Structure 1
Amino acid sequence: MSEPRVFLLPDLGEGLTEAELVSWHVAVGDEIAVDQPIAEVETAKSAVEVPSPYAGIVTELHGQPGETLDVGKPLITVTPVGANAGAAADDAAPAPSPAQPEVQPTETELAGPKPANAAAEAYREEEKAGSGNVLIGYGTPGGHGVARRTRARKAAVALAEPAEPKPTEDDLTLLRTRVPGKLGAVISPLVRRMAREHGVDLGDISGSGDSGLIMRRDVEAALRTTAPVEAPAAKPEEAKPAETRPATAPREAAPANGVDARTGLGIAARTPVRGVRKAVAANMARSRAEIPEATVWVDVDATALLELREGLKANGAEAPGLLAFIARFVTAGLKKYPELNTRIEAAEDGSQEIVAFDGVNLGFAAQTDRGLVVPSVRGAEKLSARELDGEIRRLTQVARDGKATPTELGSGTFTLNNYGVFGVDGSAAIINHPEVAILGVGRIIDKPWVVNGELAVRKVTELTLTFDHRVCDGGTAGGFLRFVADAIENPTSLLADI
């Protein structure tokens, strides 16, 4: 009888270190196949299904729906069955216990020094033993029905098998940690552990290694930049020994009663900051701490734009939403004022660079049941208003369903925020780090307006631009804002393609 295999919660990409268990797709006693979805988990980015790297009988589920699990902690225990399971196991090595995944010296020695954290090393070794399907929804590197092993088999078995090129350690690392659409997120387990222990968001780092590989020096540079803000928050978590923290302990550890010492009021509830709210809080705090922002705003007569849209509808033509029209004006404005479509990067020596992009990935704020997320329309400058409208609608739906990919949620270069849907006129928005600007649109309401020297009632909205003063001055910001405002007041000048 083969020994049980413990599958650890895999690395879900974008520097995420935990996920909330939403539901199980299997139960104890079920027989499962390799790559069969076993659970749905929710991260700060989206809801994803986790496939099993092992085939066999489910013997234990490590966690209950609603609990938060750390990456690298046990998720499910599977006992292999049949001939395939026996072939996948090591013939000569002693069987490991479920709590201690067996060591694989061949790859471990090639990878260099072992991490000091036993849990991180266990996760790394277990990850190598499975199917390789650790990036949810993006395929299995191995493509085999049984777990892949790196320990040498018996000579007779090796001679009987057909020759197959073996992946190198670099290949395994790339396959194991690559985030689709973002090569810079390819990182080693050691670098991931270092970033996690110091509270560094790897999604905000551009790698200095080959093909954008994030190196240890990149994390150290980020620590020099953010240590005053992020280090204090990380200390309480670091102070706890890893072995004393239950992998499946609910985060609602504190009772929702008692009296608050400061106010003398009774405590009605305690709500953990996690998931999307945790990610938003961290990103907004970092934006406020790092970016010297400034805000400019202008009232705009949107009457002509509304009349144009109503005219299209009256003629039976497809009429894009107002946000799509404004998005079209924004992409045109960013072509004229590219300074606002950039990013600031810090070098190891403390110097800074302004990184410009050949294209616009236009993010837009979308309110969901899980919180505020910012999906982005990739290559938005190439799309017409109708095409932008279709993509905005699609991305809004997948974001609300919790199915948006890390690439869709983390690749924006400029953000458009329509807070007018909440019935407010204006807002000094916080820039979506690491971008350098965000444009807000208020509600459209009737206001008195002077037209050709006469007072009239017009449809007026307020545009608010918050920008990073490091990349440009007020002249550039004001020029961009005025460009978009003029386009809204005279839409036909820019909408030949609609």
Structure 2
Amino acid sequence: MGQNFILPDLGEGLTEAEIVSWLVAVGDTIAIDQPVVEVESAKSIVELPSPYGGVVEALNGVAGQVVHAGQVLLTVTDAADTADTADTAQPAPQPATTPASMPGTVPPAEVDGSASGAVLIGYGTSENTRPVRRPATARFGLRPGSATPVATPIVPPVAVVAPPAPTPVTAPISSASPAGRSPVVSPLVRRLARENGLDATRLIGSGSNALVLRRDVESAIRERAAAVEPTPALEPPPALEPASVVEPAPVVEPVEPRVAPIDDIRIPITGLRKVVSERMTTSRREIPEATVWLDVDATELFAARDRLFETTGERFSVTALIARFTVAGLRRFPLLNSSVDTASQEILQRGAINLGLAAQTPRGLMVPVVHDAHAMTTRELRDAIAGIVTQAADGSFPPSRLTGGTFTLNNFGALGVDGSAAIINHPEAAILGIGRMIERPWVVNHALAVRTVVELSLVFDHRVCDGGTAAGFLTYVARCIESPVSMLADL
């Protein structure tokens, strides 16, 4: 009798996920807690273990499909039922070896009745009451203790001679595993291959144990592009005519160029993009926001950064130093570290400062959070931000890193713009924007000078505070940037 594995509750109010890839196929024998599918929610990419063991009977979904909580992902049938059905259809010959010596088979004496170790919401743990036949091959080759499978020779059929046809460009097949499929761990590698029409498991991996890496997919894409690029045919040189023969040049009719029709493209709003869209819409609908901005001379900030490097031998980024000033400003103006409880009509002023940093990632705009930034030293805050920058390269933030923010810092100057009227990250009350830092003419002591100038912009919730509080916070941060020594009084 088949058992249905449904998409469990992913937590934090998430009700849907997108199938990234299947880790098993129909007919595979799986064990309890074995990862069977990789899904991407609005928070992260996770592998889901099966709460049942047996033979995979059906996969209900394909890569790229969005499934909802409660929907059946796959159906698992008891291995004993499958064997009984096969015996009824056709009697099998007696094996020459005992079951204990067959590769990939777990003898009943070795199977313990331990419960499932992976607890999925809606499943809990269950007793393993039947022996499970584990497959001989795992994602990275043979399982320990399993015999090497003997390859069955394949006799090619008689081919019919046909006219030669263009050879299609296909990705090389890996010989690292007996099934002809290479292991792929990174979801980003699978997605990159899928978007370019490749199957990552059919590539030859250059990593450990033939693991397929990003560079393998990029190399296959380049090889395919080079193979399909047409080679211009060489035309023979024109024959020389006698000098005495003069023919009039032919009249060439002008040909109007034809523009190929451009088709519309529909892009589904799913996953992270859907969550960002809903949050930004809620922010615009509920928050009466206002914006103040200020041009700041940041020349001394760069000088202070260089002096820190000379005295400590450690590098401090400009973003880390401004984050330090921002935390100090929020402690002086705590109303900006708040949120509005619309149900009780109260302003909830937060005690801890959890500083969010807007980051552009391959998955889209994300706001990872540095929790308890108020309790960190400048060095600790710098290291936390450096870790966020590293993880932003592939967007691999854990769900805990993307929740609990109380104030957001947005360095859109890295995108090459001077300013922006940013949208507040709901349910927070404010967001500070940093523009690009460029040299501009600036008046210093009644004389023009070339200085490094940056534009700061603060968007705030007018229900939480008035312009005086917002302006006081912005000018305080600006004063710290113009004269970093002035912040020493608040340390």
TM-score clears 0.5: yes
- Are 1:411 and 2:404 counterparts? yes
**RCO higher in structure (CA 8 A, sep ≥6):** 1
Query: SS where residue 494 of structure 1 aligns?
Result: helix
* Alignment match, 1:66: 64
Cα distance between partner residues in 1 of 2:9 and 2:438: 47
**Structure 1, gaps ≥5 residues long:** 84-128, 148-264
| Conserved? CA contact 2:51–2:123, under 8 Å | no
Cα distance between partner residues in 2 of 1:393 and 1:56: 45
Cα distance between partner residues in 2 of 1:383 and 1:496: 17
Equivalence map 1:91-490=2 (5 Å): 133-134=119-120, 142=124, 146=128, 267-315=263-311, 317-347=313-343, 351-490=344-483
Cα distance between partner residues in 2 of 1:429 and 1:76: 43
| Conserved? CA contact 1:440–1:464, under 8 Å | yes
* Alignment match, 1:243: none
* Alignment match, 1:13: 11
How far is 1:413 from its partner? Answer: 0.4
Cα distance between partner residues in 2 of 1:284 and 1:457: 39
* Alignment match, 2:255: none
Which segment is superposed worse, 279-288 or 26-35?
A: 26-35
Cα distance between partner residues in 2 of 1:79 and 1:400: 41
| Conserved? CA contact 1:54–1:131, under 8 Å | no
Cα distance between partner residues in 1 of 2:482 and 2:43: 37
* Structure 2 letter corresponding to 1:288: R
TM-score, with structure 1 as normaliser: 0.62
Backbone CA RMSD of aligned residues: 2.6
Which segment is superposed worse, 462-471 or 484-493?
A: 484-493
* Structure 2 letter corresponding to 1:304: E
Query: SS where residue 460 of structure 2 aligns?
Result: strand
Cα distance between partner residues in 1 of 2:116 and 2:271: 27
From the CA coordinates, give the structure whose radius of gyration is larger.
2
Change in Cα spacing, 1:476 to 1:491, as seen in structure 2 (3 Å) is: same
TM-score, with structure 2 as normaliser: 0.62
* Structure 2 letter corresponding to 1:146: N
Change in Cα spacing, 1:321 to 1:395, as seen in structure 2 (3 Å) is: same
Cα distance between partner residues in 1 of 2:263 and 2:128: 52
How far is 1:15 from its partner? Answer: 1.6
* Alignment match, 1:36: 34
| Conserved? CA contact 1:47–1:402, under 8 Å | no
Query: SS where residue 396 of structure 2 aligns?
Result: coil
How far is 1:274 from its partner? Answer: 1.2
* Alignment match, 1:26: 24
Q: Deviations over 1:226-269 (max 9, x none)?
A: xxxxxxxxxxxxxxxxxxxxxxxxxxxxxxxxxxxxxxx96421
Which segment is superposed worse, 59-68 or 387-396?
A: 387-396
Cα distance between partner residues in 2 of 1:369 and 1:486: 35
Change in Cα spacing, 1:31 to 1:354, as seen in structure 2 (3 Å) is: same
* Structure 2 letter corresponding to 1:378: H
Cα distance between partner residues in 1 of 2:490 and 2:398: 30
Q: Deviations over 1:180-232 (max 9, x none)?
A: xxxxxxxxxxxxxxxxxxxxxxxxxxxxxxxxxxxxxxxxxxxxxxxxxxxxx
Cα distance between partner residues in 1 of 2:489 and 2:467: 30
Cα distance between partner residues in 1 of 2:36 and 2:288: 46
Cα distance between partner residues in 2 of 1:142 and 1:15: 19
Cα distance between partner residues in 2 of 1:489 and 1:80: 71
How far is 1:492 from its partner? Answer: 2.9
* Structure 2 letter corresponding to 1:134: L
| Conserved? CA contact 2:59–2:75, under 8 Å | yes
| Conserved? CA contact 2:35–2:48, under 8 Å | yes
* Structure 2 letter corresponding to 1:328: R
More helix as a share of residues: 1
Cα distance between partner residues in 2 of 1:336 and 1:20: 44
* Structure 1 letter corresponding to 2:409: L
**Structure 2, gaps ≥5 residues long:** 82-114, 130-260
| Conserved? CA contact 2:308–2:316, under 8 Å | no
Cα distance between partner residues in 2 of 1:352 and 1:132: 42
Change in Cα spacing, 1:316 to 1:134, as seen in structure 2 (3 Å) is: same
